Amino acid sequence: MDMQTVPAIEDSTPGGEAAATARAPWIRQALDLRGKLALLADAAKYDASCASSGTTRRDSRSGGLGSAGGMGICHSYAPDGRCISLLKVLLTNYCEFDCRFCINRRSSDVPRARFTERELVDLTLDFYRRNYIEGLFLSSGIVRSPDYTMARMVGVVRELRTVHDFRGYIHLKTIPGADPALVEEAGRHADRLSINVELPEAESLARLAPEKDAAGIERAMAGIGTAIAENRDSRARHRHAPRFAPAGQSTQMIVGADAATDATVLARSSTLYRSHALRRVYYSAYSPIPDPSDALPSRPAPLVREHRLYQADWLLRFYGYSLPEVVDATRDGMLDLRIDPKLAWALRHPERFPVDVNRAPRELLLRVPGLGVRGVERLLRMRRLQRVRLAHLATLGVSLAKIQPFVCAGDWQPRAQAAGLARRLAEADGTAQLPLAL
Ligand code: SF4
């Protein structure tokens, strides 16, 4: 698609600027770049696909462009595990869709703005040169058509990469239904691509985001997954083959906006990981937006639910747990919010403990609460050289207080501490977090 032939967003967007202006005349007030940044960074904060946290670093000149305080700087993780700062913004918060859970939906009475591609390129370069950011996270409402929107987003990253030789990290949201050629080009410029599945079940998506097409989203994810796999193969054969989304693809699911249980959420994410080789599924606890739809809960989902889902997700992917092991069948498909799911499993299975740190296989060591993947690798190396004692475990960088009730070592045999913990769990009220130290 030739970017030059695409008319400007406001020209003929039904439900776009013209319609939004009729609803909210103040959008005619011209926003300067700083105003757009404030608005479009704020609108992007609802996307959990890169964990957001503020920074207090500010430009020394008051009022100067580039103040990072609260304006769209989020922290994310690069493929090598480094924490990096990204400029997290929308190209525009106009949207022709009316997803009930979204602040940017067509019927939402919020101020609207849009960046031109040039503005976004300049802003990114400016922030990058000032060392405020190490990359860009770019998403957008859908204006005019998926192709139209995607073409503009691709235009931004194309110019950053090819004209300015921008080497920073780029995470680009792709628009479901966009021309595969645009997605292909996006993957050549971006490190990571993502498409939000939004909700765990197709039925909920049809009810709360009727213009979204669950099957189309799956198709788009499958296309990206295939392109990533093919690219990996071609790079194995030809070292200089161009890269395609080297940091993989990810997605986001809102939890608590519908009645889906944690078991349903985790089953869906397991399928997504398996079918499309996703790097990450991000869980976003539902939080009521201004002027919410009646179809949505009036109360937010507890943030701790999001946290427990991440912990369970980790257990399923890296610790060898199965879904029925992680979600206790007696809890109606929900995780216990009081304690992490690994500890919960251990307390339900006292017969599996204590684990002998000098003899147990890797898969059993991974089940010890407080012992992570790295801790287990270090322990396995250590025990090749010596008989492991309690004091040695303290040098692994793990919390002795957490693992002590569940292991035996050269000089350590726990008494009935795991059973004691289980009893206290049963006695605890529904909200208290159990102290883990004994
Ligand atoms: S398409 Fe995206 S931006 Fe538009 S209303 Fe739906 S979730 Fe919001």
What is the pLDDT, as a whole number, of residue 359?
96
For the chain, how many helices (H) and strands (E)? Answer: 16, 9
99, 211, 254: residue to mutate for ligand 1 pocket, most atoms within 8 A of CB: 99
Cα 281 to Cα 11, 176, 231, 276, 312, distances in angstroms? 36, 17, 22, 11, 12
What is the pLDDT, as a whole number, of residue 383?
95
- Cα Rg of the chain, angstroms: 24
Which residue lies with its CA nearest to atom 3 of ligand 1?
141
What is the pLDDT, as a whole number, of residue 79?
56
E-assigned strand segments in 256-368: 280-285, 355-356
What is the pLDDT, as a whole number, of residue 174?
95
Which residue lies with its CA nearest to atom 2 of ligand 1?
141
Atom of ligand 1 nearest to the CA of 198: 7
Which residue lies with its CA nearest to atom 6 of ligand 1?
99
How much distance in Å is there from the Cα of 93 to the middle of ligand 1?
A: 9
CA–CA separation, 269 and 309 (whole Å): 10
Q: Where are the alpha helices (DSSP H) in 238-321?
A: 262-276, 303-318
* DSSP state, residue 416: S
How much distance in Å is there from the Cα of 34 to the middle of ligand 1?
A: 23
What is the pLDDT, as a whole number, of residue 239?
85
What is the pLDDT, as a whole number, of residue 24?
43
Q: Each residue's pLDDT tens digit in the chain (438 positions)?
A: 443 333 333 433 344 455 544 544 434 445 788 888 888 988 888 776 664 333 333 333 344 333 334 456 676 666 566 677 889 999 999 999 999 999 999 999 899 999 999 999 999 999 999 988 999 999 999 999 999 999 999 999 999 999 999 999 999 999 999 999 999 999 999 999 999 999 999 999 999 999 999 999 999 999 999 999 999 999 999 988 999 999 999 999 999 999 999 999 999 999 999 999 899 999 999 998 887 888 899 999 999 999 999 999 999 999 999 999 999 888 899 999 999 999 999 999 999 999 999 999 999 999 999 999 999 999 999 999 999 999 999 898 888 999 999 999 988 888 755 556 666 656 554 444 444 333
Atom of ligand 1 nearest to the CA of 209: 6
How much distance in Å is there from the Cα of 411 to the middle of ligand 1?
A: 59
Atom of ligand 1 nearest to the CA of 96: 4
Which run of H or E residues covers position 402? helix 400-403
What is the bridge-based pairing of β-strands 192-194 and 169-173? parallel
95, 143, 293: residue to mutate for ligand 1 pocket, most atoms within 8 A of CB: 95
* pTM higher than 0.85: no
How much distance in Å is there from the Cα of 53 to the middle of ligand 1?
A: 22
What is the pLDDT, as a whole number, of residue 70?
45
Which residue lies with its CA nearest to atom 5 of ligand 1?
105
What is the pLDDT, as a whole number, of residue 389?
94
What is the bridge-based pairing of β-strands 192-194 and 249-255? parallel
Q: In the numeric block, which tokens belong to residue 346?
A: 């251990």
How much distance in Å is there from the Cα of 226 to the middle of ligand 1?
A: 25
Contacts of 236 (CB under 8 A, 6+ apart): none
pLDDT per position as a tens digit, 89-134: 999 999 999 999 999 999 998 999 999 999 999 999 999 999 889 9
CB 261 within 8 A of CB 335: no
Contacts of 145 (CB under 8 A, 6+ apart): none
What is the pLDDT, as a whole number, of residue 427?
58
CA–CA separation, 116 and 390 (whole Å): 61
How much distance in Å is there from the Cα of 96 to the middle of ligand 1?
A: 8
How much distance in Å is there from the Cα of 108 to the middle of ligand 1?
A: 11
39, 96, 102: residue to mutate for ligand 1 pocket, most atoms within 8 A of CB: 102
What is the pLDDT, as a whole number, of residue 363?
97
Q: Which residues line ligand 1 (CB under 6 A)?
A: 95, 97, 99, 102, 104-105, 141-142, 209
In DSSP terms, 85 is beta-bridged to: 75
What is the pLDDT, as a whole number, of residue 337?
94
